[in-house]
């Protein structure tokens, strides 16, 4: 069982490296692969433009894709285990929408002057904070509802309803906002891994690493939670503390990703299933690392598809993720009788 | 064998407290659990079995009284200490289908493992032993999803075993199981209690199994009391009759089971060669409207003598009829009633 985890991880790491190279090579300006390698290993390249593109645009975008994919996937995995519901995910439970609402509030209140792409430190933090508060708010509401609603399906529906409420609040905000504000919000809403500038990258990586590390530290209680709350409690898990940590980690990962890259759908929902299907286990010891890697891979693949048209422009990210994610979910639902972790 | 007191309750009051509203279910309960004994908690639905079990595992607070686990007050235990002293098995469905039996049982080691739950060689040996002890060795690497209900229950018992707790509490471990698995699970639990000298407490609706295999019974009666004691004492003191409050259901001390009270108008004097023949002949007669009496004075009553299952003789007055099976006898009795 362990060896399967190692094999999967090995394959995935190779895949990540290949996809990183592809992401760095493809784009609006075609730069030969050899030159990309030269620039990456730090050689001074005669074409300063290429060097700028690789380092200032493509490199941050690629790194952002890896971390965002991993973050959303891990959030999805934690939510699925915590709610004992294989169809939970940041976008389904409305956490994305909550973060979006926070962002919309900040952006539209700022009348379009605040956007992640334009670098002003205070604005950037305001957006981050808005996203986190929005995500945390929705998560707390869902958590509270989960104590009232026993049925998993009903809880999902409640989550979807909360997502709708957040969306309609956003529409209202849009109505009262300036044209610039609406425009920058709309662009953000399409989803884009290019939202993190080069000088924001270290901070982005730091925050994401904190969230991912928290997730990894929750592996043991997450495994206990597979047996349900009562059993987990009997195994010495402090339920309240674990829930709070799960809430903070999920909120942080989802909020930061959403703030920078927009509300990205389906990665959080579908990737944990891909990882489980690959490994054939719901044991988080191997599932957690593999989910992180698959998340990175899928996000890189999505980004690659987005930038494939080259000179003619960039496809919105949220046009691509459902194409990859939805079939996985449909496959899982259709085959749920044959898939062990449903039973 | 030396018997240690594992758990003790003094003047325990169970129930719920929600704001100012206080719902008391049981008051002033005294009980003791001993190591090496299988204790069965009996009671009808809604008698408060689960409430008591939840109070014992600290999943819900008691409203009064004192609970002493291994001589120390239950509240003084931290979650982790408690998890090393009480192992539980519940009826609820889990999301563990994607784990192998080995991984599931290994989760029971969590109270003893470090931050990441890595298993030492000792842990692995314990897990393997527990799986063997519940007779699941062949299924070690099977997914939990592939197991039958009985096998899942056995895996959960193995999980409780590796927790290495002196006390295992099970909430209706045999519910939803077929007869075969029920007996298997109860026998397994009895083995766990005696061989590993653990205290095992389980709630069940299966009165017959509880009476044959349980060392002690805790019987929750309809008057909101709980009688604790050795099975035979409780049975012979007529406690079992108070388990249900139903005018037409009573406990048959002789057969050790519950029956609906039948008022038969006719009687028959029954003589059988063996006790088992007597038991089943009586069963057949009572079902068909005859009470059995022991008199040898067969003047007024018809007499039935059963020498073997295919030699059944019905005598009334001077006529005697031979039957080759109970089916023939019953057909005859029905023709009598029809007249």
Percent of chain B with pLDDT over 70: 96
Pair (B71, B139) in one structural domain: yes
A228 CB neighbours in chain B (<8 A) are 90, 92, 94-95
Provide the CATH number for the domain around residue A315.
1.10.3470.10
Last residue of a domain, one of B191, B220, B252: B252
pLDDT (mean) for B289-305: 76
Domain count across chain A = 1
Give CA–CA dist A277/A293, Å, rounded: 14
pLDDT at residue A119, rounded to an integer: 47
Give CA–CA dist A118/A124, Å, rounded: 8
Report the DSSP beta bridge partners of residue B72.
B69
Whether B148 has its CB under 8 Å from any CB of chain A: the answer is no
Pair (B112, B229) in one structural domain: yes
Is the pLDDT higher at A146 or at B140? B140
Domain assignment of residue B261, yes or no = no
Which ipTM did the prediction report? 0.85
Residues 6+ apart with CB under 8 A from B33: B5, B6, B7, B8, B39, B167, B199, B201
Closest Cα of chain A to B179: distance in Å?
Answer: 23
8 Å CB contact of B98 and A234: no
Residues 6+ apart with CB under 8 A from A131: A99, A100, A102, A103, A255, A256, A258, A259
Last residue of a domain, one of B252, B283, B317: B252
Give CA–CA dist A237/A232, Å, rounded: 6
Q: Which of A223, A235, A285 sits opposite B83 (nearest CB)?
A: A235
Pair (B281, B334) in one structural domain: yes
Pair (B82, B206) in one structural domain: yes
Domain assignment of residue B260, yes or no = no
pLDDT at residue B157, rounded to an integer: 92
CA dihedral A158, A161, A165, A168 (to 10 degrees): 170
Domain count across chain B = 2
Closest Cα of chain B to A11: distance in Å?
Answer: 22
Residues 6+ apart with CB under 8 A from A234: B57, B83, B86, B87, B88
B99 CB neighbours in chain A (<8 A) are 226, 281-283
Is the pLDDT higher at B94 or at A71? A71
The token pair at A209 is 């690493």
Residues 6+ apart with CB under 8 A from A313: A28
Q: Which residues of chain A have pLDDT under 70?
A: 1-2, 110-122, 342-343
Structure confidence at residue B296 as a pLDDT band (50, 70, 90): low
Contact A211, A71 (CB under 8 A): yes
Q: pLDDT for B247-280, tens place per residue?
A: 777 777 777 777 777 777 788 888 888 888 888 8
Pair (B199, B276) in one structural domain: no
Contact A237, A292 (CB under 8 A): no
The token pair at B333 is 């009795």
Tell me the residue range of the domain where A212 lies. Answer: 2-342
Q: How far is CA A255 from the centre of its chain?
A: 9
Instruction: Tell me the pTM.
Output: 0.85
Whether B4 has its CB under 8 Å from any CB of chain A: the answer is no
pLDDT at residue A301, rounded to an integer: 95
The token pair at A334 is 């259709």
8 Å CB contact of A224 and B110: yes
Q: pLDDT for B152-186, tens place per residue?
A: 999 999 999 999 999 999 999 888 888 888 888 89
Domain assignment of residue B201, yes or no = yes
Closest Cα of chain B to A145: distance in Å?
Answer: 19
8 Å CB contact of B88 and A223: no
Give CA–CA dist A283/B110, Å, rounded: 14
Residue B276, SS3?
helix
User: Mean pLDDT lowest for which of A320-329, B88-97, B143-152, B290-299?
Assistant: B290-299
Domain assignment of residue B259, yes or no = no
Give CA–CA dist A215/B292, Å, rounded: 72
Tell me the residue range of the domain where B177 lies. Answer: 5-252
Pair (B321, B297) in one structural domain: yes
- Report how many Cβ contacts below 8 Å link chain A to chain B: 94
CA dihedral A69, A72, A78, A83 (to 10 degrees): -140
Closest CA to B60 of B91, B25, B89: B25
pLDDT at residue A77, rounded to an integer: 95
Q: How far is CA B61 from the centre of its chain?
A: 26
Provide the CATH number for the domain around residue B209.
3.40.50.300
Question: Is residue B268 classed exposed, middle or buried when 0-12, 13-18 and 19+ CB atoms within 10 A define those classes?
Answer: buried
Contact B97, A340 (CB under 8 A): yes
Q: Render A309-330 in DSSP notation, one character per residue.
A: TGGG----HHHHHHHHHHHHHH
Last residue of a domain, one of B202, B227, B252: B252
Closest Cα of chain B to A63: distance in Å?
Answer: 28
Domain assignment of residue B276, yes or no = yes
For chain A, helix (H) and strand (E) counts, in that order, are 15, 0
pLDDT at residue B2, rounded to an integer: 56
Residue B36 — φ and ψ, nearest 5°?
75, 10
Whether A223 has its CB under 8 Å from any CB of chain B: the answer is yes
pLDDT at residue A342, rounded to an integer: 67
Pair (B123, B243) in one structural domain: yes
Pair (B285, B311) in one structural domain: yes
Q: pLDDT for A195-217, tens place per residue?
A: 888 888 998 999 999 999 999 99
pLDDT at residue B297, rounded to an integer: 60
The one-character DSSP state at A57 is I
Whether B317 has its CB under 8 Å from any CB of chain A: the answer is no
Give CA–CA dist B331/B323, Å, rounded: 10
pLDDT at residue A276, rounded to an integer: 92
The token pair at B143 is 């997914």
Closest Cα of chain B to A343: distance in Å?
Answer: 5
- What is the average pLDDT value for chain B, to the nearest integer? 87
Q: What angle do CA A49, A54, A60 make, to 5 degrees?
A: 135
Closest Cα of chain B to A235: distance in Å?
Answer: 5
pLDDT at residue B298, rounded to an integer: 52
Q: Render B144-167 in DSSP notation, one character per residue.
A: GGGS-HHHHHHHHHHHHHHTT-SE
Whether A152 has its CB under 8 Å from any CB of chain B: the answer is no
Pair (B76, B165) in one structural domain: yes
Contact B171, B53 (CB under 8 A): yes
8 Å CB contact of A223 and B108: no
Domain assignment of residue B258, yes or no = no
8 Å CB contact of A281 and B79: no
Half-sphere exposure of B192 (CA within 13 A, CB side): 36
Give CA–CA dist A124/A315, Å, rounded: 25
Reply yes or no on whether the pLDDT at B53 is more than 90. Answer: yes
The strand pair at B86-89 and B72-73 is best described as: unpaired
Pair (B178, B303) in one structural domain: no
8 Å CB contact of B92 and A235: no
Whether B115 has its CB under 8 Å from any CB of chain A: the answer is yes
In SS3 terms, A274-311 reads as HHHHHHCCCCHHHHHHHHHHHHHHHHHHHHHHHHCCHH
Give CA–CA dist B267/B286, Å, rounded: 9
């Amino acid at each position: 069982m362990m060896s399967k985890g190692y094999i999967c991880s090995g394959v995935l790491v190779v895949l990540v490296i290949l996809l990183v190279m592809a992401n760095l090579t493809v784009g609006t300006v075609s730069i030969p692969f050899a030159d990309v390698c030269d620039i990456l290993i730090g050689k001074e390249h005669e074409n300063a433009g290429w060097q700028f593109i690789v380092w200032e645009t493509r490199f941050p975008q690629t790194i952002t894709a890896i971390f965002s994919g991993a973050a959303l996937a891990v959030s999805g995995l934690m939510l699925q285990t915590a709610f004992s519901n294989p169809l939970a995910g940041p976008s389904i439970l409305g956490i994305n929408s909550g973060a979006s609402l926070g962002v919309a509030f900040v952006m539209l209140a700022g009348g379009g002057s605040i956007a992640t792409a334009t670098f002003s430190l205070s604005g950037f933090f305001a957006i981050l904070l808005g996203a986190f508060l929005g995500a945390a708010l929705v998560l707390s509401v869902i958590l509270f509802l989960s104590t009232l609603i026993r049925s998993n399906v009903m809880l999902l529906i409640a989550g979807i309803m909360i997502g709708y409420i957040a969306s309609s609040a956003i529409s209202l905000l849009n109505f009262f906002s300036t044209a610039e504000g609406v425009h920058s919000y709309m662009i953000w809403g399409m989803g884009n891994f290019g939202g993190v500038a080069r000088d924001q990258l270290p901070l982005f990586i730091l925050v994401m690493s904190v969230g991912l590390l928290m997730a990894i530290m929750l592996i043991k209680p997450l495994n206990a939670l597979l047996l349900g709350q009562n059993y987990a409690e009997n195994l010495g898990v402090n339920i309240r503390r674990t829930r709070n940590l799960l809430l903070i980690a999920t909120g942080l990962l989802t909020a930061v990703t959403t703030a920078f890259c927009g509300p990205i759908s389906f990665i959080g929902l579908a990737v944990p299933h891909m990882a489980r299907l690959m490994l054939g286990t719901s044991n988080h010891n191997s599932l957690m690392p593999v989910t992180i890697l698959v998340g990175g891979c899928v996000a890189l693949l999505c980004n690659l598809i987005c930038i494939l048209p080259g000179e003619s422009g960039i496809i919105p990210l949220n046009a691509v993720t459902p194409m990859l994610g939805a079939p996985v979910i449909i496959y899982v639902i259709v085959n749920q009788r044959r898939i062990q972790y449903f039973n | 064998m030396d018997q240690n007191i594992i758990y003790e309750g003094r003047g325990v009051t169970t129930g719920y407290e929600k704001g100012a509203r206080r719902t008391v279910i049981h008051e002033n309960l005294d009980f003791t659990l001993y190591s090496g004994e299988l204790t069965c908690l009996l009671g009808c639905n809604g008698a408060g079995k689960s409430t008591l079990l939840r109070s014992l595992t600290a999943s819900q607070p008691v409203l009064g009284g004192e609970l002493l686990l291994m001589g120390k007050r239950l509240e003084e235990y931290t979650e982790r200490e408690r998890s090393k002293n009480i192992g539980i098995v519940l009826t609820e469905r889990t999301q563990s289908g994607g784990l192998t039996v080995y991984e599931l049982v290994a989760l029971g080691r969590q109270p003893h493992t470090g931050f990441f739950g890595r298993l030492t060689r000792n842990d692995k040996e314990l897990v393997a032993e527990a799986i063997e002890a519940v007779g699941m060795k062949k299924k070690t690497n099977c997914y939990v999803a592939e197991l039958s209900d009985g096998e899942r229950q056995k895996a959960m018992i193995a999980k409780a075993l590796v927790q290495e707790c002196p006390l295992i509490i099970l909430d209706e471990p045999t519910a939803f199981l077929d007869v075969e698995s029920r007996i298997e699970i109860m026998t397994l639990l009895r083995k766990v209690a005696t061989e590993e000298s653990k205290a095992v407490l389980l709630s069940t609706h299966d009165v017959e199994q509880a009476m044959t295999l349980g060392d002690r019974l805790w019987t929750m009666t309809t008057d909101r009391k709980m009688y604790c004691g050795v099975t035979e004492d409780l049975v012979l003191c007529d406690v079992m009759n108070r388990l249900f409050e139903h005018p037409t259901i009573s406990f048959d001390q002789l057969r050790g089971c519950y029956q609906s009270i039948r008022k038969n108008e006719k009687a028959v004097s029954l003589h059988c060669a063996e006790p088992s023949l007597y038991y089943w002949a009586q069963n057949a007669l009572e079902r068909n409207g005859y009470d059995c009496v022991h008199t040898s004075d067969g003047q007024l009553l018809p007499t039935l003598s059963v020498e073997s299952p295919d030699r059944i003789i019905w005598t009334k007055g001077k006529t005697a009829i031979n039957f080759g099976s109970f089916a023939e006898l019953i057909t005859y009795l029905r023709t009598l009633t029809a007249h």
